[in-house]
Structure 1
Amino acid sequence: MLLNDLGRKVFFVYPPSVVKEDLITHLIDNEYETYMVKDTRRAELLFEKYDDAICFVNIDTGISEPEWEEWIRKILAEPKFSKIGLGIVSYNSNEKLQKKYLMDIGIQCGYIKLKLGRDESIKILLATLNANEAKGRRKFVRADATGDTLSSLNFTHGRLQIIGKIVDISVVGFACILDPDPELAKNMLLSDVQLKLRASLLRTDLILLGSRPVDDRNQYIFLFPPKIENHAKAKIRTYIQTTLQASLEQYLEEAIKNAPKEAQRQSPQNTSTLLEPALEELEDLAEIEATNESNKESQAKEANEEG
Protein backbone atom coordinates (compact mmCIF):
# COMPACT_ATOMS: atom_id res chain seq x y z
CA MET A 1 0.00 0.00 0.00
CA LEU A 2 1.38 3.39 -0.96
CA LEU A 3 1.68 6.04 1.73
CA ASN A 4 -0.94 8.33 0.18
CA ASP A 5 -3.35 5.39 0.04
CA LEU A 6 -3.56 5.72 3.82
CA GLY A 7 -5.30 9.06 3.39
CA ARG A 8 -4.28 12.54 4.47
CA LYS A 9 -3.89 13.51 8.09
CA VAL A 10 -6.15 16.34 9.23
CA PHE A 11 -4.72 18.85 11.71
CA PHE A 12 -6.46 21.62 13.64
CA VAL A 13 -4.04 24.26 14.94
CA TYR A 14 -5.27 26.11 18.05
CA PRO A 15 -8.68 24.40 17.73
CA PRO A 16 -11.53 26.35 19.38
CA SER A 17 -13.65 24.58 21.98
CA VAL A 18 -16.45 23.77 19.54
CA VAL A 19 -13.94 21.94 17.34
CA LYS A 20 -12.32 20.07 20.24
CA GLU A 21 -15.60 19.12 21.90
CA ASP A 22 -17.86 18.47 18.93
CA LEU A 23 -16.69 18.85 15.34
CA ILE A 24 -13.68 16.55 15.64
CA THR A 25 -15.94 13.80 16.99
CA HIS A 26 -18.00 13.95 13.80
CA LEU A 27 -14.89 13.80 11.62
CA ILE A 28 -13.70 10.75 13.56
CA ASP A 29 -17.14 9.14 13.21
CA ASN A 30 -16.74 9.60 9.46
CA GLU A 31 -13.31 7.89 9.61
CA TYR A 32 -11.05 10.89 9.04
CA GLU A 33 -7.73 10.73 10.88
CA THR A 34 -7.90 13.95 12.86
CA TYR A 35 -5.49 15.58 15.31
CA MET A 36 -5.22 18.70 17.44
CA VAL A 37 -1.99 20.71 17.26
CA LYS A 38 -0.92 23.23 19.90
CA ASP A 39 0.95 25.79 17.81
CA THR A 40 2.51 26.67 14.47
CA ARG A 41 5.94 25.33 15.42
CA ARG A 42 4.51 21.87 15.91
CA ALA A 43 2.43 22.24 12.76
CA GLU A 44 5.56 22.89 10.69
CA LEU A 45 7.29 19.84 12.16
CA LEU A 46 4.29 17.78 11.13
CA PHE A 47 4.28 19.28 7.63
CA GLU A 48 7.89 18.12 7.26
CA LYS A 49 6.78 14.56 7.92
CA TYR A 50 3.33 14.57 6.33
CA ASP A 51 3.75 16.76 3.29
CA ASP A 52 0.21 16.17 1.97
CA ALA A 53 -1.64 16.90 5.23
CA ILE A 54 -4.75 19.07 5.49
CA CYS A 55 -4.53 21.76 8.15
CA PHE A 56 -7.23 24.07 9.50
CA VAL A 57 -5.97 27.00 11.56
CA ASN A 58 -8.01 28.99 14.06
CA ILE A 59 -7.05 32.58 13.26
CA ASP A 60 -9.01 33.90 16.27
CA THR A 61 -6.31 32.97 18.79
CA GLY A 62 -2.68 31.99 19.34
CA ILE A 63 -1.14 34.83 17.36
CA SER A 64 -2.54 38.04 15.87
CA GLU A 65 -4.39 37.97 12.55
CA PRO A 66 -1.54 39.77 10.69
CA GLU A 67 0.86 37.15 12.08
CA TRP A 68 -1.49 34.41 10.86
CA GLU A 69 -1.49 35.97 7.42
CA GLU A 70 2.31 36.06 7.40
CA TRP A 71 2.56 32.42 8.52
CA ILE A 72 -0.01 31.18 6.01
CA ARG A 73 1.72 33.04 3.16
CA LYS A 74 5.04 31.52 4.25
CA ILE A 75 3.65 27.96 4.20
CA LEU A 76 1.99 28.46 0.81
CA ALA A 77 5.20 29.90 -0.66
CA GLU A 78 7.43 27.06 0.58
CA PRO A 79 7.98 24.51 -2.25
CA LYS A 80 8.37 21.57 0.14
CA PHE A 81 4.89 22.31 1.51
CA SER A 82 3.25 22.58 -1.91
CA LYS A 83 0.93 19.62 -1.23
CA ILE A 84 -0.23 20.89 2.17
CA GLY A 85 -3.89 21.93 2.12
CA LEU A 86 -4.62 24.96 4.33
CA GLY A 87 -8.02 26.07 5.56
CA ILE A 88 -9.35 28.41 8.24
CA VAL A 89 -11.88 28.03 11.05
CA SER A 90 -13.03 31.28 12.61
CA TYR A 91 -15.93 33.05 14.29
CA ASN A 92 -14.97 36.16 12.32
CA SER A 93 -17.33 36.35 9.34
CA ASN A 94 -15.93 39.61 7.94
CA GLU A 95 -16.35 39.40 4.16
CA LYS A 96 -13.13 41.29 3.40
CA LEU A 97 -11.15 38.93 5.63
CA GLN A 98 -12.65 35.89 3.90
CA LYS A 99 -11.90 37.34 0.47
CA LYS A 100 -8.31 38.05 1.47
CA TYR A 101 -7.62 34.45 2.47
CA LEU A 102 -9.69 32.74 -0.21
CA MET A 103 -9.04 34.95 -3.23
CA ASP A 104 -5.91 37.00 -2.56
CA ILE A 105 -3.82 34.53 -0.56
CA GLY A 106 -5.38 31.40 -2.07
CA ILE A 107 -5.93 28.93 0.77
CA GLN A 108 -7.14 25.65 -0.71
CA CYS A 109 -9.42 24.20 1.98
CA GLY A 110 -11.91 26.95 2.63
CA TYR A 111 -12.84 29.47 5.28
CA ILE A 112 -15.19 27.76 7.76
CA LYS A 113 -17.41 30.34 9.46
CA LEU A 114 -18.21 28.80 12.84
CA LYS A 115 -21.00 31.34 13.37
CA LEU A 116 -23.03 29.43 10.78
CA GLY A 117 -23.62 26.83 13.48
CA ARG A 118 -22.55 23.31 14.28
CA ASP A 119 -24.46 21.41 11.59
CA GLU A 120 -23.44 23.71 8.75
CA SER A 121 -19.80 23.72 9.90
CA ILE A 122 -19.75 19.91 9.98
CA LYS A 123 -21.32 19.75 6.53
CA ILE A 124 -18.73 22.11 5.06
CA LEU A 125 -15.80 20.34 6.74
CA LEU A 126 -16.93 16.92 5.51
CA ALA A 127 -17.45 18.24 1.98
CA THR A 128 -14.00 19.85 2.03
CA LEU A 129 -12.28 16.67 3.23
CA ASN A 130 -14.14 14.55 0.70
CA ALA A 131 -13.21 16.91 -2.14
CA ASN A 132 -9.56 16.70 -1.09
CA GLU A 133 -9.65 12.87 -0.88
CA ALA A 134 -8.60 12.91 2.76
CA LYS A 135 -9.56 9.27 3.30
CA GLY A 136 -7.43 7.83 0.52
CA ARG A 137 -8.17 4.15 -0.10
CA ARG A 138 -8.45 3.30 3.55
CA LYS A 139 -12.02 2.85 4.75
CA PHE A 140 -11.36 2.89 8.49
CA VAL A 141 -8.85 4.72 10.67
CA ARG A 142 -6.62 2.37 12.66
CA ALA A 143 -4.34 2.89 15.62
CA ASP A 144 -1.20 1.04 16.66
CA ALA A 145 -1.73 -0.15 20.23
CA THR A 146 1.55 -2.01 20.70
CA GLY A 147 2.83 0.56 23.21
CA ASP A 148 -0.36 0.60 25.27
CA THR A 149 0.04 -1.37 28.51
CA LEU A 150 -3.38 -0.31 29.84
CA SER A 151 -5.52 -2.09 27.24
CA SER A 152 -6.29 -5.78 26.80
CA LEU A 153 -8.97 -8.37 26.14
CA ASN A 154 -9.92 -11.49 28.05
CA PHE A 155 -12.26 -14.43 27.57
CA THR A 156 -12.72 -18.03 28.64
CA HIS A 157 -11.92 -20.84 26.20
CA GLY A 158 -12.71 -24.25 27.65
CA ARG A 159 -10.90 -24.29 30.96
CA LEU A 160 -8.43 -21.63 29.90
CA GLN A 161 -8.60 -17.97 30.83
CA ILE A 162 -7.15 -16.15 27.82
CA ILE A 163 -5.57 -12.71 28.02
CA GLY A 164 -4.96 -10.75 24.84
CA LYS A 165 -2.61 -7.92 23.92
CA ILE A 166 -4.09 -5.61 21.27
CA VAL A 167 -1.67 -4.82 18.45
CA ASP A 168 -3.76 -2.76 16.02
CA ILE A 169 -7.41 -1.66 16.13
CA SER A 170 -10.11 -0.03 14.01
CA VAL A 171 -13.85 0.26 14.52
CA VAL A 172 -14.37 -2.97 12.51
CA GLY A 173 -11.82 -5.19 14.23
CA PHE A 174 -8.35 -5.65 15.64
CA ALA A 175 -5.18 -7.73 15.66
CA CYS A 176 -3.90 -9.23 18.89
CA ILE A 177 -1.61 -11.76 20.55
CA LEU A 178 -3.27 -14.25 22.92
CA ASP A 179 -1.69 -15.77 26.00
CA PRO A 180 -1.80 -18.69 26.33
CA ASP A 181 -2.33 -19.32 22.63
CA PRO A 182 -5.56 -21.35 22.31
CA GLU A 183 -4.92 -22.11 18.60
CA LEU A 184 -8.36 -20.96 17.51
CA ALA A 185 -9.90 -22.03 14.20
CA LYS A 186 -10.74 -19.53 11.46
CA ASN A 187 -14.34 -18.19 11.46
CA MET A 188 -14.80 -19.20 15.09
CA LEU A 189 -17.28 -17.10 17.08
CA LEU A 190 -16.19 -15.96 20.53
CA SER A 191 -18.96 -14.88 22.89
CA ASP A 192 -18.84 -12.40 25.75
CA VAL A 193 -15.30 -11.12 25.27
CA GLN A 194 -14.29 -8.25 27.55
CA LEU A 195 -12.23 -5.45 26.02
CA LYS A 196 -10.44 -3.00 28.26
CA LEU A 197 -9.57 0.10 26.25
CA ARG A 198 -7.71 2.09 28.86
CA ALA A 199 -10.49 3.51 31.07
CA SER A 200 -13.35 2.04 29.00
CA LEU A 201 -14.77 -1.45 29.32
CA LEU A 202 -17.02 -3.17 26.82
CA ARG A 203 -18.29 -6.68 26.22
CA THR A 204 -18.81 -8.00 22.72
CA ASP A 205 -18.83 -11.08 20.54
CA LEU A 206 -15.97 -11.52 18.08
CA ILE A 207 -15.51 -13.37 14.80
CA LEU A 208 -12.06 -14.78 14.07
CA LEU A 209 -11.04 -13.74 10.57
CA GLY A 210 -7.74 -15.63 10.71
CA SER A 211 -4.24 -15.68 12.13
CA ARG A 212 -0.66 -15.49 10.94
CA PRO A 213 2.72 -16.27 12.49
CA VAL A 214 4.77 -13.23 13.48
CA ASP A 215 8.14 -14.04 15.01
CA ASP A 216 7.38 -16.96 17.35
CA ARG A 217 3.74 -16.05 18.05
CA ASN A 218 0.39 -16.18 16.30
CA GLN A 219 -1.32 -12.87 15.69
CA TYR A 220 -5.09 -13.21 15.51
CA ILE A 221 -7.35 -10.93 13.47
CA PHE A 222 -10.82 -10.48 14.98
CA LEU A 223 -13.87 -8.83 13.48
CA PHE A 224 -16.47 -7.03 15.58
CA PRO A 225 -20.06 -8.16 14.85
CA PRO A 226 -21.81 -6.09 12.15
CA LYS A 227 -24.52 -5.02 14.59
CA ILE A 228 -22.19 -3.88 17.37
CA GLU A 229 -24.02 -1.29 19.47
CA ASN A 230 -23.41 2.41 18.84
CA HIS A 231 -22.18 3.07 22.38
CA ALA A 232 -19.54 0.36 21.93
CA LYS A 233 -18.48 1.88 18.59
CA ALA A 234 -18.19 5.26 20.30
CA LYS A 235 -15.87 3.78 22.95
CA ILE A 236 -13.70 2.18 20.27
CA ARG A 237 -13.49 5.40 18.24
CA THR A 238 -12.63 7.41 21.34
CA TYR A 239 -9.86 4.95 22.14
CA ILE A 240 -8.50 5.11 18.59
CA GLN A 241 -8.47 8.91 18.62
CA THR A 242 -6.87 9.08 22.08
CA THR A 243 -4.19 6.59 21.04
CA LEU A 244 -3.40 8.42 17.80
CA GLN A 245 -3.26 11.80 19.54
CA ALA A 246 -0.96 10.41 22.25
CA SER A 247 1.34 8.96 19.58
CA LEU A 248 1.46 12.32 17.83
CA GLU A 249 2.26 14.16 21.06
CA GLN A 250 5.10 11.75 21.79
CA TYR A 251 6.40 12.13 18.25
CA LEU A 252 6.36 15.93 18.51
CA GLU A 253 8.05 15.91 21.90
CA GLU A 254 10.92 13.90 20.45
CA ALA A 255 11.04 16.04 17.31
CA ILE A 256 11.33 19.24 19.32
CA LYS A 257 14.09 17.77 21.49
CA ASN A 258 16.14 16.54 18.58
CA ALA A 259 14.98 18.06 15.30
CA PRO A 260 17.98 16.91 13.15
CA LYS A 261 17.04 13.26 13.77
CA GLU A 262 13.37 13.82 12.98
CA ALA A 263 13.44 11.82 9.77
CA GLN A 264 14.79 8.75 11.57
CA ARG A 265 11.96 8.41 14.08
CA GLN A 266 8.99 6.16 13.63
CA SER A 267 5.90 7.84 12.28
CA PRO A 268 2.83 7.93 14.49
CA GLN A 269 0.87 6.44 11.58
CA ASN A 270 0.02 3.23 12.92
CA THR A 271 -0.15 -0.04 11.13
CA SER A 272 2.27 -2.93 10.96
CA THR A 273 3.12 -3.80 7.35
CA LEU A 274 2.84 -7.45 8.36
CA LEU A 275 -0.78 -6.96 9.33
CA GLU A 276 -1.77 -4.68 6.47
CA PRO A 277 -3.06 -7.35 4.01
CA ALA A 278 -5.17 -9.10 6.65
CA LEU A 279 -6.56 -5.85 7.99
CA GLU A 280 -7.47 -4.70 4.48
CA GLU A 281 -9.34 -7.98 4.07
CA LEU A 282 -11.04 -7.34 7.41
CA GLU A 283 -12.18 -3.89 6.31
CA ASP A 284 -13.48 -5.18 2.98
CA LEU A 285 -15.36 -7.98 4.75
CA ALA A 286 -16.89 -5.53 7.20
CA GLU A 287 -18.07 -3.32 4.36
CA ILE A 288 -19.62 -6.30 2.53
CA GLU A 289 -21.39 -7.48 5.69
CA ALA A 290 -22.70 -3.98 6.39
CA THR A 291 -24.05 -3.79 2.81
CA ASN A 292 -25.69 -7.21 3.17
CA GLU A 293 -27.34 -6.16 6.42
CA SER A 294 -28.63 -2.98 4.78
CA ASN A 295 -30.02 -4.97 1.83
CA LYS A 296 -31.77 -7.40 4.18
CA GLU A 297 -33.38 -4.53 6.08
CA SER A 298 -34.55 -2.93 2.81
CA GLN A 299 -36.02 -6.23 1.59
CA ALA A 300 -37.81 -6.78 4.90
CA LYS A 301 -39.23 -3.26 4.75
CA GLU A 302 -40.48 -3.81 1.19
CA ALA A 303 -42.07 -7.12 2.18
CA ASN A 304 -43.88 -5.47 5.09
CA GLU A 305 -45.16 -2.69 2.85
CA GLU A 306 -46.44 -5.20 0.29
CA GLY A 307 -48.10 -7.20 3.08
Structure 2
Amino acid sequence: MVRFLVTAQYETAIVKDYRSIQAVLHKFPGSVVYFNADSRMPAGTLDQVVKSVLSGKEKHGADVGLLSYNNDPDQARRYLLDIGITCGYITLNIGFEKSARIIIKALEAAEARGDRRFVRVRVPRGKASLNIITNADGRPLSGTILDISEVGMACILDTDYSVGTVFPDIQLRLWGTLCNASATIAGKRETPQGKVSVLLFEKFTDGGVRGKVYSFLQRVMQHEVDSLL
Protein backbone atom coordinates (compact mmCIF):
# COMPACT_ATOMS: atom_id res chain seq x y z
CA MET A 1 0.00 0.00 0.00
CA VAL A 2 2.85 2.43 0.82
CA ARG A 3 4.43 1.90 -2.61
CA PHE A 4 1.06 2.38 -4.30
CA LEU A 5 0.54 5.71 -2.54
CA VAL A 6 4.05 6.91 -3.44
CA THR A 7 3.46 6.11 -7.12
CA ALA A 8 0.17 8.01 -6.82
CA GLN A 9 2.33 11.01 -5.76
CA TYR A 10 1.52 11.05 -2.05
CA GLU A 11 4.32 11.47 0.48
CA THR A 12 3.99 8.28 2.51
CA ALA A 13 5.82 6.54 5.35
CA ILE A 14 5.12 4.20 8.26
CA VAL A 15 5.36 5.38 11.86
CA LYS A 16 6.71 2.26 13.54
CA ASP A 17 6.10 3.40 17.13
CA TYR A 18 2.75 4.99 17.97
CA ARG A 19 4.39 6.81 20.90
CA SER A 20 6.24 9.00 18.38
CA ILE A 21 3.17 10.06 16.41
CA GLN A 22 2.98 13.56 17.91
CA ALA A 23 6.62 14.30 17.04
CA VAL A 24 6.05 13.12 13.48
CA LEU A 25 2.90 15.23 13.06
CA HIS A 26 4.62 18.37 14.30
CA LYS A 27 7.44 17.73 11.83
CA PHE A 28 4.98 17.09 9.00
CA PRO A 29 1.89 19.26 9.66
CA GLY A 30 -1.24 18.73 7.63
CA SER A 31 -0.72 14.97 7.40
CA VAL A 32 -3.33 12.26 7.08
CA VAL A 33 -2.75 9.39 9.52
CA TYR A 34 -4.16 5.92 9.01
CA PHE A 35 -3.89 3.81 12.14
CA ASN A 36 -3.82 0.02 11.99
CA ALA A 37 -6.87 -0.92 14.05
CA ASP A 38 -5.62 -4.53 14.24
CA SER A 39 -2.24 -3.68 15.80
CA ARG A 40 -1.40 -5.25 19.14
CA MET A 41 -1.58 -2.32 21.53
CA PRO A 42 -2.49 -2.46 25.23
CA ALA A 43 -6.25 -2.32 25.78
CA GLY A 44 -7.65 1.15 25.17
CA THR A 45 -4.37 2.53 23.81
CA LEU A 46 -5.54 2.92 20.22
CA ASP A 47 -8.54 4.98 21.31
CA GLN A 48 -6.29 7.19 23.45
CA VAL A 49 -3.80 7.77 20.64
CA VAL A 50 -6.51 8.51 18.07
CA LYS A 51 -8.25 10.94 20.42
CA SER A 52 -4.96 12.69 21.22
CA VAL A 53 -4.28 13.25 17.53
CA LEU A 54 -7.81 14.52 16.89
CA SER A 55 -7.65 16.88 19.87
CA GLY A 56 -4.37 18.36 18.64
CA LYS A 57 -5.57 19.16 15.14
CA GLU A 58 -5.34 22.92 15.70
CA LYS A 59 -1.60 22.48 16.28
CA HIS A 60 -0.65 20.01 13.54
CA GLY A 61 -3.65 19.95 11.20
CA ALA A 62 -3.74 16.16 10.91
CA ASP A 63 -6.73 14.11 9.80
CA VAL A 64 -7.25 10.53 10.99
CA GLY A 65 -8.55 7.32 9.46
CA LEU A 66 -8.41 3.64 10.41
CA LEU A 67 -7.48 0.50 8.47
CA SER A 68 -8.71 -2.91 9.57
CA TYR A 69 -9.40 -6.43 8.34
CA ASN A 70 -12.23 -6.56 10.87
CA ASN A 71 -15.50 -5.90 9.09
CA ASP A 72 -17.30 -4.90 12.28
CA PRO A 73 -19.97 -2.25 11.62
CA ASP A 74 -20.31 -1.44 15.32
CA GLN A 75 -16.59 -0.73 15.65
CA ALA A 76 -16.62 1.33 12.46
CA ARG A 77 -19.62 3.33 13.69
CA ARG A 78 -17.94 3.98 17.05
CA TYR A 79 -14.80 5.40 15.46
CA LEU A 80 -16.67 7.38 12.83
CA LEU A 81 -19.48 8.81 14.95
CA ASP A 82 -18.41 8.65 18.60
CA ILE A 83 -14.67 9.29 18.32
CA GLY A 84 -14.94 11.33 15.13
CA ILE A 85 -12.23 10.12 12.76
CA THR A 86 -12.32 12.16 9.58
CA CYS A 87 -10.79 10.00 6.83
CA GLY A 88 -12.82 6.83 7.01
CA TYR A 89 -12.81 3.37 8.53
CA ILE A 90 -11.48 1.28 5.65
CA THR A 91 -11.94 -2.47 5.63
CA LEU A 92 -8.99 -4.13 3.91
CA ASN A 93 -10.56 -7.54 3.33
CA ILE A 94 -12.53 -6.12 0.38
CA GLY A 95 -9.33 -6.46 -1.67
CA PHE A 96 -6.33 -4.26 -2.33
CA GLU A 97 -7.72 -2.50 -5.40
CA LYS A 98 -10.99 -1.45 -3.76
CA SER A 99 -9.24 -0.45 -0.53
CA ALA A 100 -6.71 1.61 -2.46
CA ARG A 101 -9.44 3.45 -4.38
CA ILE A 102 -11.23 4.30 -1.14
CA ILE A 103 -8.03 5.60 0.45
CA ILE A 104 -7.24 7.73 -2.62
CA LYS A 105 -10.74 9.26 -2.52
CA ALA A 106 -10.32 10.05 1.18
CA LEU A 107 -6.92 11.64 0.55
CA GLU A 108 -8.32 13.70 -2.31
CA ALA A 109 -11.17 14.90 -0.10
CA ALA A 110 -8.63 15.89 2.57
CA GLU A 111 -6.51 17.65 -0.09
CA ALA A 112 -3.56 15.66 1.23
CA ARG A 113 -1.40 16.31 -1.82
CA GLY A 114 -1.73 20.07 -1.55
CA ASP A 115 -0.43 21.99 -4.56
CA ARG A 116 2.23 19.39 -5.37
CA ARG A 117 1.90 17.34 -8.55
CA PHE A 118 4.86 15.07 -7.81
CA VAL A 119 6.56 13.70 -4.72
CA ARG A 120 9.96 15.32 -4.33
CA VAL A 121 12.49 14.54 -1.61
CA ARG A 122 15.56 16.29 -0.31
CA VAL A 123 18.43 13.86 -0.54
CA PRO A 124 20.24 12.96 2.70
CA ARG A 125 23.92 13.87 2.54
CA GLY A 126 25.93 11.36 0.55
CA LYS A 127 22.96 9.22 -0.51
CA ALA A 128 22.63 10.23 -4.19
CA SER A 129 25.09 11.20 -6.92
CA LEU A 130 25.41 11.10 -10.68
CA ASN A 131 27.90 10.52 -13.47
CA ILE A 132 27.37 11.83 -16.99
CA ILE A 133 29.22 10.67 -20.09
CA THR A 134 29.64 13.77 -22.28
CA ASN A 135 30.47 13.92 -25.96
CA ALA A 136 33.36 16.30 -25.32
CA ASP A 137 36.07 13.84 -24.33
CA GLY A 138 34.26 10.75 -23.10
CA ARG A 139 35.24 11.36 -19.50
CA PRO A 140 32.47 11.26 -16.91
CA LEU A 141 31.10 14.44 -15.39
CA SER A 142 30.12 13.95 -11.77
CA GLY A 143 27.65 15.74 -9.56
CA THR A 144 25.71 15.72 -6.31
CA ILE A 145 21.93 15.36 -6.30
CA LEU A 146 20.18 17.74 -3.88
CA ASP A 147 16.56 16.78 -4.49
CA ILE A 148 14.76 14.48 -6.88
CA SER A 149 11.30 13.51 -8.11
CA GLU A 150 9.94 11.31 -10.88
CA VAL A 151 10.20 14.22 -13.32
CA GLY A 152 13.57 15.73 -12.51
CA MET A 153 16.27 16.67 -10.04
CA ALA A 154 18.30 19.59 -8.73
CA CYS A 155 22.03 18.95 -8.61
CA ILE A 156 25.43 20.58 -8.42
CA LEU A 157 27.62 19.59 -11.38
CA ASP A 158 31.41 19.68 -11.42
CA THR A 159 31.34 21.64 -14.69
CA ASP A 160 28.99 24.43 -15.73
CA TYR A 161 26.70 23.74 -18.71
CA SER A 162 24.15 26.06 -20.29
CA VAL A 163 20.38 25.76 -20.08
CA GLY A 164 19.09 23.47 -22.81
CA THR A 165 22.05 21.08 -22.68
CA VAL A 166 20.91 17.50 -23.21
CA PHE A 167 22.57 14.63 -21.36
CA PRO A 168 21.48 11.36 -23.01
CA ASP A 169 23.46 9.08 -20.71
CA ILE A 170 23.28 9.78 -16.96
CA GLN A 171 24.11 7.16 -14.37
CA LEU A 172 22.28 7.77 -11.09
CA ARG A 173 23.43 6.26 -7.83
CA LEU A 174 20.44 6.33 -5.48
CA TRP A 175 21.29 5.01 -2.02
CA GLY A 176 23.67 2.52 -3.62
CA THR A 177 21.31 1.47 -6.43
CA LEU A 178 22.37 2.27 -10.00
CA CYS A 179 20.07 3.25 -12.85
CA ASN A 180 20.36 5.21 -16.09
CA ALA A 181 18.39 8.17 -17.38
CA SER A 182 18.54 11.03 -19.86
CA ALA A 183 17.75 14.63 -18.99
CA THR A 184 17.92 18.26 -20.10
CA ILE A 185 19.08 21.28 -18.11
CA ALA A 186 15.88 23.31 -17.69
CA GLY A 187 17.23 26.03 -15.41
CA LYS A 188 19.97 27.15 -13.04
CA ARG A 189 20.16 29.15 -9.85
CA GLU A 190 22.80 30.43 -7.47
CA THR A 191 22.71 29.10 -3.90
CA PRO A 192 25.06 29.20 -0.90
CA GLN A 193 26.02 25.62 -1.85
CA GLY A 194 27.02 26.64 -5.37
CA LYS A 195 25.40 26.83 -8.79
CA VAL A 196 22.46 24.44 -8.91
CA SER A 197 21.31 22.94 -12.20
CA VAL A 198 17.70 21.79 -12.56
CA LEU A 199 17.43 18.78 -14.85
CA LEU A 200 14.19 17.41 -16.30
CA PHE A 201 14.17 13.71 -17.11
CA GLU A 202 13.09 12.36 -20.44
CA LYS A 203 10.02 10.22 -19.82
CA PHE A 204 11.07 6.88 -18.37
CA THR A 205 10.36 4.09 -20.83
CA ASP A 206 11.97 1.46 -18.62
CA GLY A 207 9.66 0.48 -15.77
CA GLY A 208 12.67 -0.80 -13.85
CA VAL A 209 14.26 2.66 -13.77
CA ARG A 210 11.02 4.28 -12.68
CA GLY A 211 10.69 1.64 -9.96
CA LYS A 212 14.18 2.40 -8.65
CA VAL A 213 13.38 6.11 -8.46
CA TYR A 214 10.16 5.38 -6.55
CA SER A 215 12.04 3.03 -4.23
CA PHE A 216 14.49 5.83 -3.48
CA LEU A 217 11.72 8.35 -2.83
CA GLN A 218 10.04 5.89 -0.48
CA ARG A 219 13.29 5.09 1.33
CA VAL A 220 14.14 8.76 1.90
CA MET A 221 10.67 9.54 3.26
CA GLN A 222 10.84 6.55 5.58
CA HIS A 223 14.32 7.63 6.71
CA GLU A 224 12.98 11.10 7.60
CA VAL A 225 10.23 9.60 9.76
CA ASP A 226 12.49 6.98 11.37
CA SER A 227 14.94 9.71 12.41
CA LEU A 228 12.22 11.12 14.71
CA LEU A 229 11.62 7.86 16.59
Aligned to 2:52: 74
After the TM superposition, which residues 21-100 of structure 1 pair with which residues of structure 2 at under 5 Å, given as runs?
A: 23-64=1-42, 66-78=44-56, 80-81=58-59, 83-100=61-78
After the TM superposition, which residues 1-307 of structure 1 pair with which residues of structure 2 at under 5 Å, given as runs?
A: 23-64=1-42, 66-78=44-56, 80-81=58-59, 83-147=61-125, 149-157=126-134, 158-159=136-137, 160-179=139-158, 181=159, 183-215=160-192, 217-250=194-227, 252-253=228-229
Q: Structure 2 unaligned segments of length 5 or more: list them.
A: none
Q: CA deviation at 1:91?
A: 0.9
Structure 2 counterpart of 1:38, one-letter code = K
**Conservation of the 8 A alpha-carbon contact between 1:39 and 1:62:** no
Task: Give the root-mean-square deviation of aligned CA atoms.
Answer: 1.8
TM, length-normalised to structure 1: 0.69
Aligned to 1:303: none
Rounded to whole Å, the distance in 1 between the matches of 2:127 and 2:175 is 5
- State the aligned residue count: 227
Corresponding residue SS for 1:47: helix
Change in Cα spacing, 1:74 to 1:205, as seen in structure 2 (3 Å) is closer
Q: CA deviation at 1:62?
A: 3.3
Q: CA deviation at 1:211?
A: 1.5
Q: CA deviation at 1:141?
A: 0.9
Q: Deviations over 1:47-68 (max 9, x none)?
A: 2333421100012113145321
Rounded to whole Å, the distance in 2 between the matches of 1:205 and 1:123 is 33
Higher RCO structure (Cα 8 Å, ≥6 apart): 2
Q: CA deviation at 1:79?
A: 5.9
**Higher strand fraction: Structure 1 or Structure 2?**
2
Q: Structure 1 unaligned segments of length 5 or more: list them.
A: 1-22, 254-307
**Higher helix fraction: Structure 1 or Structure 2?**
1
**Conservation of the 8 A alpha-carbon contact between 1:171 and 1:236:** yes
Change in Cα spacing, 1:43 to 1:133, as seen in structure 2 (3 Å) is same
TM, length-normalised to structure 2: 0.92
Q: CA deviation at 1:81?
A: 4.8
Corresponding residue SS for 1:36: coil
Structure 2 counterpart of 1:199, one-letter code = G
Corresponding residue SS for 2:209: helix
Percent identity of the aligned residues?
30
Rounded to whole Å, the distance in 2 between the matches of 1:227 and 1:50 is 30
**Conservation of the 8 A alpha-carbon contact between 1:75 and 1:81:** no
Corresponding residue SS for 2:13: strand
**Conservation of the 8 A alpha-carbon contact between 2:63 and 2:87:** yes
Structure 2 counterpart of 1:91, one-letter code = Y
